[in-house]
Structure 1
Amino acid sequence: MSGEGRVAVVSGGAAGIGYSIAERLAADGFIVAILTRTEGAAEQAAEEIGRGGGNARGYRADVGDRAQVDAVLARIRDDLGPLSVVVANAAVAPKRPFLETTQEEWENTLRINLTGTFNLVQAGLPDLLAAGAGRVILISSSSAQRGAPQMAAYASSKGGQLAMTKALAMEFSKQGITVNTVVPSSIDTPSVAKKRAEGQLPSAEEMSKFIPVGRMGTGADIAGAVSYLASEDASYVTGQTLSVNGGSFIG
């Protein structure tokens, strides 16, 4: 699958890992539709990518709201054409002791992270099926593999993505569609830097001591994995979990 002229949608693509993914896919030749629920953020990100020579458009939508997803994908099809790649990256990551987690917090985390993935993938799949080819790439978290204290809702939602990957890969492989998950860990993003400044996380230097490759990851590291899975080189890869973590967790 060449990126040239094909449309890729990236949810949560205005900042952090999502922005790095959008930027890389644009560099690969894709026309990238960036989704975010923050007013003006997707448009600003698309402009930045455009200044770097990439082709991107920004759209506002809350992936947890199916009506918004259906409406925004209809706009994207009208503006850019049918989808070829769907990257489900949008997520929230609340941190709260399990016994203090409210049902509202639990349901909102699953609504955005897991139901949002369902909404985006199900609404985008008809384009891929019509073409007889396409890529679905989910962005999960190492929290789903090894757990995370005070993040039961987040880890559960990300674990659901891993199971969804296996099920969809089995269901759609004969239609030319691959479905895979990238699992980041120890990635130095703006949200991580914010938590570090608030004293919730140790310094990057301290964290790097526990990572075999000796450094924290970057958004570009995750984007490189997504670029591979979106390419023709990955046409025989489906139902897989690609952990991008510097060796910090083997499993």
Structure 2
Amino acid sequence: MGLLDGKIAVVTGAASGIGRSIATHYAGEGATVVVADLNVEAAEGVAAQLRQTAPESMAVQVNVTSKVSCQALYETVYQRYGRIDIVGNNAGVSTMNRIVDLTEEEWDFNMNVNAKGVFLCTQAALPYLIEQGGGRIINTASMAGKRGTPLLAHYAASKWAVIGFTKSTALEVAEHGITVNCVCPGFVKTSMQDREIVWEGQLRGMDPADVYDEYIRLTPMKRIQTPDDVARIYVFLASHLADFVTGEAVDVTGGADLV
């Protein structure tokens, strides 16, 4: 018996990184998973692996910055399975720059994917969750959504938006039996972090290896976080164990948010 037996879960940005780990853990707990990603070929690869334990899982291409694409995603899922239990809004991007050099394109890129994407996917999924009388929405925010973060002001702003949107949505939909929460990771070992270490090194005049070591020093548990560390909290929030948890921004940082 898994914690998510029989559930239908949609995870955006699920072709790699944190999203892939969330999808894998969901399937391991008995859920059928829709691997939603802009990179549909990579999503198909993940879905093929998930079908070893969750045979009805599938991949769907989605552009979370497009209302039409988000609506099409949830129409496809509902037509295929007849219900939607878990909405995992995980798709995200980042760039790094000093505010004086930050371009509008960088600002818009981060806000459109990280914040607008959560809004559009939530809006597309809610009619189905309301009609069936319940469900879970879980958004990926960030430790940067709770504190100032040099070189990431635009990214931080997008993640603060996710937290505010999560709490507000939770209040609106609680009467329908829907919980809405977000997860705030710290320094997570992903391909995104690999790029950020290089960018930060260039902007600060540091070797990327020294930036990586600094991340470890800033984490009281003295290791870099893994996508699995995040995914396990996603499982908890999607399960019956979190029936009475809503509007929360759960820190999963190894204590880095306390430093």
Amino acid across the alignment from 2:54: G
Distance in 2, matches of 1:222 and 1:176, equals: 24
Q: Is the 8 A contact 2:15 2:46 kept in 1?
A: yes
Q: How far has the Cα of 1:54 moved from its partner?
A: 2.9
Q: How far has the Cα of 1:157 moved from its partner?
A: 0.8
Q: Deviations over 1:108-163 (max 9, x none)?
A: 22111111101100110111111211111010011111222222221111100110
Identity %: 32
Q: How far has the Cα of 1:221 moved from its partner?
A: 0.6
Q: How far has the Cα of 1:105 moved from its partner?
A: 2.3
TM superposition score normalised by structure 1: 0.93
Q: How far has the Cα of 1:37 moved from its partner?
A: 0.8
Q: Is the 8 A contact 2:189 2:224 kept in 1?
A: yes
**Corresponding residue for 1:116?**
117
**Corresponding residue for 1:216?**
224
**Corresponding residue for 2:204?**
none
Q: How far has the Cα of 1:173 moved from its partner?
A: 1.1
**Corresponding residue for 1:247?**
255
Q: Does 1:230 align with 2:230?
A: no
Unaligned stretches of 5+ residues in structure 2: 202-207
**Corresponding residue for 1:148?**
149
Q: SS state of the match for residue 83, structure 1?
A: coil
TM superposition score normalised by structure 2: 0.90
Q: SS state of the match for residue 135, structure 1?
A: strand
**Corresponding residue for 1:8?**
9
Greater displacement, 94-103 / 64-73: 94-103
Q: Is the 8 A contact 1:95 1:151 kept in 2?
A: yes
Q: Is the 8 A contact 2:219 2:256 kept in 1?
A: yes
Unaligned stretches of 5+ residues in structure 1: none
Amino acid across the alignment from 1:216: I
**Corresponding residue for 2:205?**
none
Q: SS state of the match for residue 256, structure 2?
A: coil
Q: SS state of the match for residue 51, structure 2?
A: helix
Amino acid across the alignment from 2:216: S
